[in-house]
Amino acid sequence: MSTAISLVFVAQEKSSRQSVDQHPLQRTGEEGPELAISGQDPVPRRCHQGARKQKAVLAIHSGQAALAHGVHAAIAATPAMPPDLTAAAFFDVDNTLMRGASIFYFAQGLAARNFFPAGALASFAWQQLKFRVAGRELSLEEIHTSREQALSFVAGRSNQQFVELGEDIYDELMADRIWSGTLALAQRHLDAGQRVWLVTATPVELATIIARRLGLTGALGTVAETVDGVYTGRLVGDILHGAAKAQAVRTLALQEGLDLQRCTAYSDSANDIPMLSLVGTAVAVNPDPDLRETARARGWEIRDFRTGRKAARIGVPSVLGIGVAAGAVAARLAYQRRVRP
């Protein structure tokens, strides 16, 4: 199926309100998810300061058009090395880059601000306990249940409000839970001039905050629908999970001119085997039992930071001849380019 690409530049405003007539939020009519790809250009080094920004929205659509408003990401400093434009790294977030689930910490922060009863955190806490005991990521059904509950909490509230709260909640509950070992791996790619993207089922607004705070290029994440800057309580497309992550990476690679044979992907979960299998180098980080077994069988590198040790590298990372044909996925790419004084 051919993929049409259109580029629309959107002026940045301080107001969170945005006209639906200018940027309609439509479901694609396809089964593939719509995801937001929010990022920086070209390749940042680690930076914790914001910068002046301008925004562009790229709609990649198959079948019916799906165009959504962009998400902010700050600009990082000029890279020390020339950019490597055909290689990139893709990192899962929950339990790969961060201990626990980012959406749980966000919900915890919202509960502390009386956005919903603290008792509503019980299901989130139970899911976290199951992961810690069983060593496995949540099932797709559990993720859907969790996301639907989260969407019901945010319905009727402004996007801008949650972005601002996300900044504070990151500082309070997430910053100290970043795996330093995983962050060091990401920094190695940045130092080599490569772009580093987060690929997560987490809402793209939150994923973008995490990426920006860590000086990464950007984030691919699940999109919650907004009308006039207010959440409707529905998703645009579906959750970015499992095979949908691989599809999203293919689309991004096609748009950005990446050679997937030269790319690297990192994850803790067997759910991400499609994404890990797509790239030339796959790394299992803090792997669940199923992913550890697969990594050993395929000769993928294993890194385990949970015990303070690095698991031995097993064999040579697999290099798979997977094509970059675009699937039936609708995506948007919000570039944040450097504005020179």
Q: Give the 3-state secondary structure of residue 89.
A: strand
Whether 205 and 162 have beta carbons less than 8 Å apart is answered as yes
Whether 98 and 178 have beta carbons less than 8 Å apart is answered as yes
Which residues contact residue 133 at a Cβ distance below 8 angstroms, ignoring those fewer than 6 apart?
Answer: none
Query: Residue 113 burial by CB count (10 A; 0-12/13-18/19+): exposed, middle or buried?
Result: exposed
Ranked by mean pLDDT, which of 76-90, 95-109, 179-193 comes out on top? 179-193
CA angle 15, 72, 101 (to 5 degrees): 115
- Tens digit of pLDDT for each residue in 280-295? 999 999 999 999 999 9
Q: Which of 94, 122, 97 is nearest to 178 (CA)?
A: 97
pLDDT at residue number 337: 29
CATH architecture, domain 4-96+177-337: 3-Layer(aba) Sandwich (3.40)
**Other residues' Cβ atoms within 10 Å of the Cβ of residue 24:** 12
The whole-angstrom separation of Cα 95 and Cα 137 is 9
How many CA atoms, within 13 angstroms, populate the side-chain half-sphere of residue 181? 18
Q: Give the 3-state secondary structure of residue 270.
A: helix
The whole-angstrom separation of Cα 66 and Cα 261 is 29
- Tens digit of pLDDT for each residue in 38-77? 554 433 333 333 332 322 222 222 222 222 333 333 333 3
pLDDT at 298 over 70: yes
- Tens digit of pLDDT for each residue in 84-93? 999 999 999 9
Active site residues: 92, 94
pLDDT at residue number 153: 74
Q: Which two tokens stand for residue 188?
A: 């190695």
Tell me what percent of the residues of the chain surpass a pLDDT of 90: 44
Please report where in the chains the tokens 């198959």 appear, as a residue: 62
pLDDT at 141 over 60: yes
Query: Residue 121 burial by CB count (10 A; 0-12/13-18/19+): exposed, middle or buried?
Result: middle
The whole-angstrom separation of Cα 54 and Cα 32 is 29
Q: Where are the domains of the chain?
A: 4-96+177-337, 102-176
Mean pLDDT of the 119-145 span = 58
Which residues contact residue 256 at a Cβ distance below 8 angstroms, ignoring those fewer than 6 apart?
Answer: 85, 88, 195
Q: Which of 193, 194, 209, 15 is nearest to 93 (CA)?
A: 209
Cα dist from 151 to 80, 126, 197, 235, 288, whole Å: 41, 18, 24, 8, 27
In the beta sheet, which residues pair with residue 10?
A: 55
The least confident of 55-64, 105-114, 199-208, 233-242 is: 55-64
